[in-house]
């Protein structure tokens, strides 16, 4: 049986009735880097509001296999840093100065198609969420649900079971 983040094995033996052994191990989700070597998940966080970038840092800090490699306060900076640093994941807000998150996502995925994108936004309009996912974003998380949904969304990006909060 498989549960997100866990491997559960049932073993039964018919030698003396039925015996069950339950074991589990935490799975670590490793992306493949452009070099093909497994590594820590490298993340860029882009939001024009520093308090949201700080919240994302706090949420991700306990994850030893996830590392924030850059932050950006606008869409152009997010694109530039993503192309330069080649993170595995970009977490983008929709509403950012200079270049909105949707346009930044498009440019990021054109330049770095192996990158994954998660939108973290207050925008809950169905049309915007659908457009974000249609252009290649893996996940769309509402900021109101960030504490509950962001970490599972990141894990799903590297195990693949899409989601929208």
- Which CATH number covers residue 117? 3.40.50.2300
Tell me whether residue 22 is in a domain. no
Domain containing 159 equals: 29-164
Tell me whether residue 16 is in a domain. no
Tell me whether residue 42 is in a domain. yes
- The mean predicted confidence, pLDDT, of the chain is 82
Tens-digit pLDDT profile for residues 25-82: 333 444 444 434 456 899 999 999 999 999 999 999 999 899 999 999 999 999 999 9
Tell me whether residue 14 is in a domain. no
Report phi then psi at 66, rounded to 5: -125, 135
Report phi then psi at 36, rounded to 5: 90, -5
Alpha helices per DSSP H over the chain = 50-60, 75-85, 101-111, 126-134, 146-157
Rounded distance between C-alpha atoms, residue 154 and residue 139, angstroms:
8
Half-sphere exposure of 102 (CA within 13 A, CB side): 11
Tell me whether residue 24 is in a domain. no
Tell me whether residue 3 is in a domain. no
Number of domains in the chain: 1
Tell me whether residue 2 is in a domain. no
Tell me whether residue 90 is in a domain. yes
pLDDT at 160 > cutoff 80: no
pTM equals: 0.75
Per-residue confidence (pLDDT) for residue 159, from 0 to 100: 82
């Amino acid at each position: 049986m498989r549960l997100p983040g866990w491997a559960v094995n049932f073993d039964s033996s018919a030698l003396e009735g039925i015996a069950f052994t339950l074991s589990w191990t935490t799975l670590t989700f490793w992306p493949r880097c452009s070099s093909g070597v497994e590594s820590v998940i490298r993340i860029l966080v882009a939001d024009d509001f520093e308090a949201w970038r700080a919240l994302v840092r706090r949420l991700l800090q306990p994850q030893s296999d996830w590392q924030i490699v850059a932050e950006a306060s606008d869409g152009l900076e997010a694109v530039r840093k993503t192309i330069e640093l080649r993170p595995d994941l970009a977490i983008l807000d929709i509403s950012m100065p200079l270049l909105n998150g949707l346009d930044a996502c498009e440019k990021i995925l054109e330049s770095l198609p192996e990158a994954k994108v998660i939108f973290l936004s207050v925008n809950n309009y169905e049309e915007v969420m659908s457009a974000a996912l249609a252009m290649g974003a893996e996940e769309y998380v509402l900021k109101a649900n960030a504490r509950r949904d962001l970490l599972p969304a990141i894990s799903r990006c590297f195990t693949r079971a899409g989601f929208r909060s």
